[in-house]
Amino acid sequence: MIHSDHDRPGDEDLKPASPLRLPVTLLLALTAPPLALASWILLSGDQRSAYFRSTWIRAGLAVLIIGALPLLAVGAAASLGLTRDPNPNPVGFGLLFFAAGVVACLLVLVGIVRVALAERGAQ
């Protein structure tokens, strides 16, 4: 038996994407592009789990965390008084964080596109 998109078993339990997903993402794309990617995923309803299963998105999140850790460690060490300089200027770690953020955004964007194409192909 062939089901239409609305008659598939279990569809009544699916949570659709938020109607605010597109406007919020567009607004954030103009003001804070990394947050736009996060809002697209977080406002995607039941598709959110498909996004978090994507290897591309997981890799992007891992790159962002790994790139931020050195900068956070220097800030925490300075706050705790573990450094000679109470106000360190870790330019290198800041540049590392910026570069990691750009790479992470690109990886997450590839993951979003791949998941969206896979979801369209499945329908």
pLDDT for 15: 83
Q: What pLDDT sits at residue 4?
A: 45
pLDDT at 2 over 50: no
| Burial group, residue 67, by CB count within 10 angstroms (0-12, 13-18, 19+) | buried
Segment 83-110, tens digit of pLDDT: 888 889 999 999 999 999 999 999 999 9
Looking at the domain assignment, is residue 84 inside a domain?
yes
Pick from 104, 34, 23: which is nearest to 69 by CA?
A: 104
Residue 112 lies in a domain: yes
pLDDT (tens digit, 9 = 90+) per residue, 103-121?
999 999 999 999 999 988 8
Per-residue DSSP letter, 87? S
Residue at 97 is within a domain: yes
Is residue 104 domain-resident?
Answer: yes
The 10s digit of each residue's pLDDT in 4-63 is 444 445 555 678 888 898 999 999 999 998 999 999 999 998 889 999 999 999 999 999
Residue 91 counted as domain residue: yes
Neighbours of 105 (CB within 10 A): 18
User: What is the Cα–Cα distance from 73 to 71, expressed in whole angstroms?
Assistant: 5
Structural contact between residues 47 and 101, judged by C-beta atoms closer than 8 angstroms: no
Mean per-residue pLDDT, 74-90: 91
- pTM for this model (two decimals): 0.80
Residue 57 inside a domain? The answer is yes
Residue 122 placed within a domain: yes
Q: Which domain holds residue 105?
A: 52-123
Residue with tokens 């954030």: 28
Alpha helices in the chain (DSSP H): 21-31, 33-42, 48-53, 55-79, 91-122
On whether residue 101 sits in a domain, the answer given is yes
How many separate domains does the chain show? 1
